[in-house]
Amino acid sequence: MSVVNAALPGRQALRNGLPGWKPYVYRGIGIDILTPHLTTDELFAPAAEVCWCGESQYGYRLHRKRGEEPCQASREANTTAEAARRERRKHGIPRHLEPCGTEAAYRRHIRRGEPIDDACRQANALKLADWKEGAS
Residues 63 and 26 in one domain: no
Q: CA 63, CA 15: separation in Å to the nearest integer? A: 42
Per the domain annotation, does 127 fall within a domain? yes
Domain count, the chain: 3
**CA 89 → CA 5, 83, 126, distances in Å?**
60, 10, 34
Per the domain annotation, does 32 fall within a domain? yes
User: Helix (H, G, I), strand (E, B), or coil: what is residue 84?
Assistant: helix
Over residues 100-134, the pLDDT tens digits come to: 999 999 999 999 899 999 999 999 999 999 988 88
Q: What is the mean pLDDT of residues 24-51?
A: 59
Q: Are 40 and 32 in contact (CB under 8 A)?
A: no
Residues 1 and 42 in one domain: yes
Q: What is the mean pLDDT of residues 68-88?
A: 90
**Which residues fall within 8 angstroms of residue 106, CB to CB, at 6 or more apart?**
116, 120, 121, 123, 124
What's the gap between Cα 23 and its chain centre?
Answer: 38
Residue numbers of the domain that contains 110: 103-135
Per the domain annotation, does 39 fall within a domain? yes
Q: How far apart are the first and last CA of the chain?
A: 84
Q: CA 75, CA 95: separation in Å to the nearest integer? A: 25
User: What pLDDT does 56 receive?
Assistant: 87
Residues 80 and 39 in one domain: no
pTM for the full model?
A: 0.37
pLDDT over 80 at 46, yes or no: no
Q: 32: which DSSP letter?
A: B
More confident residue, 1 or 103: 103
Per the domain annotation, does 116 fall within a domain? yes
Residues 36 and 62 in one domain: no
Per the domain annotation, does 109 fall within a domain? yes
Q: CA 87, CA 91: separation in Å to the nearest integer? A: 6
User: What pLDDT does 85 receive?
Assistant: 87
Residues 35 and 63 in one domain: no
